Structure 1
């Protein structure tokens, strides 16, 4: 008897070849459960030279010309803002990672409109926070409050903000909406934006940014009030985390891709 799930494997293009895009592309090229890697779109084609089995497209138009089933965006907020709608309109499903693009209300409206119109579908992986399914359930039941807390070393906050004085990032230095925070740190709050999109939205989800000299690397804390019951999720800090991983963001993408063809879906 022929297994209907094995008759067709989707084709996937990875847009962006940084740390996360490279991990996703290599896993798909190795034949892990999920779609077939059609190739990557990389700003620096030489960066892919170490992976001869990976095809490099000259640009996004060249990738779309091969009619892939889906594109995984691992590039930048600017790339998602510029290309996301075109990908969806072309009938290609889009897995979006650079979620801080949604901090711009015009970009958020454009992406939502394109996703509503289709035919491509927009999917958002759980990422480093690993909480989107939980928020989806809570939203269905009724969410009263969502609060996210993101902690880095003060020196890390200073580095990503372009500041030289790390002392200003010691302790709790920001509390407000996710939209305001993501506008200030557009490359480091994708997990927070994902939490907001799955829950109460960017304007009604509260975030606290903290600098802790003793943290070692990072910590996320999520508090949800739903049905009168508090829910709390803590992630990190990692113990002796190497520079290349573990990376829950990359694995959340791979899990989402594998689920597209799984016989049992969680």
Structure 2
């Protein structure tokens, strides 16, 4: 029996939203029917909606009017915070690119509750990073170790509190100096340095407060491991470098049995948009990776 297509809406009208609509036009999201696009700029939204053959929306209420099953966010941290509750409570699941929104522990816990109460789900588009399956597995092993030690009375949720002291996690990122310009961590000498220089050192929560558009990968890594308060973040400025080079580590505390190391280099942000496409395809796939 032929499966009914799921309704899909997009929050955002920029480059990454364009990749999702491009994939739709190529037939790579064949299990979906595009219902609407909401963006800040009317003309850009209209052009993107015309390309996708769907409605250009002027408000979140208009976007949700068609009762989408999924909303793919490709806008901003602010958009996730502003619209996340209404989307999840409307009956739509949310595919999130701006994962930095969940560095706010209170918002993250609320979002999980909104989804649970309304039978919806939050999908973090982490394919731009990769390796999250092994990171989550190591985190689960750390939680099991803590339970065996009798130091945990939770009901199985993997949280920063439940893993503190049993899992160490961190991410180091190397960036070109120009990509740090117009951020609080930028220093003029980065542009003339001949050697790598430290731009930031702290945890994921501190990183997102300073660099809300630059550390989605760090926050995603933190959510998959020890949490934003316990995951260390190091950012370096590298002369002549193009793109981002990330190294994510997760190690079960007090043992040398398991340590996960994930290395990712990307010269283009396009991989983030295609990550959303991969998530949407996986949701409907008979075989889930």
The TM-score with structure 2 as length reference comes to: 0.81
**Deviates further, 218-227 or 248-257:** 218-227
Q: CA deviation at 1:247?
A: 2.3
Q: How does 1:43-54 map to 2 (within 5 A)?
A: 43-51=40-48, 52-54=50-52
Q: How does 1:92-241 map to 2 (within 5 A)?
A: 92-142=92-142, 144-161=167-184, 165-167=188-190, 171-226=197-252, 228-236=257-265, 238=267
Partner residue, 1:39: 36
Runs of 5+ unmatched residues, structure 2: 143-165
2: CA distance between counterparts of 1:162 and 1:191?
17
Q: CA deviation at 1:50?
A: 4.2
Q: CA deviation at 1:85?
A: 1.2
Partner residue, 1:242: none
8 Å CA contact 1:174, 1:209 repeated in 2: yes
Q: CA deviation at 1:38?
A: 1.6
Partner residue, 1:85: 85
RMSD (Å) for aligned C-alpha atoms? 2.3
Q: CA deviation at 1:163?
A: 5.3
Give the 3 Å change call, closer, same or farther, for CA 152–17 of structure 1 in structure 2.
same
**Deviates further, 25-34 or 144-153:** 25-34
Q: CA deviation at 1:217?
A: 2.3
8 Å CA contact 1:103, 1:179 repeated in 2: yes
Larger Rg: 2
Number of residue-to-residue matches in the alignment? 256
Partner residue, 1:11: 7
8 Å CA contact 1:215, 1:237 repeated in 2: no
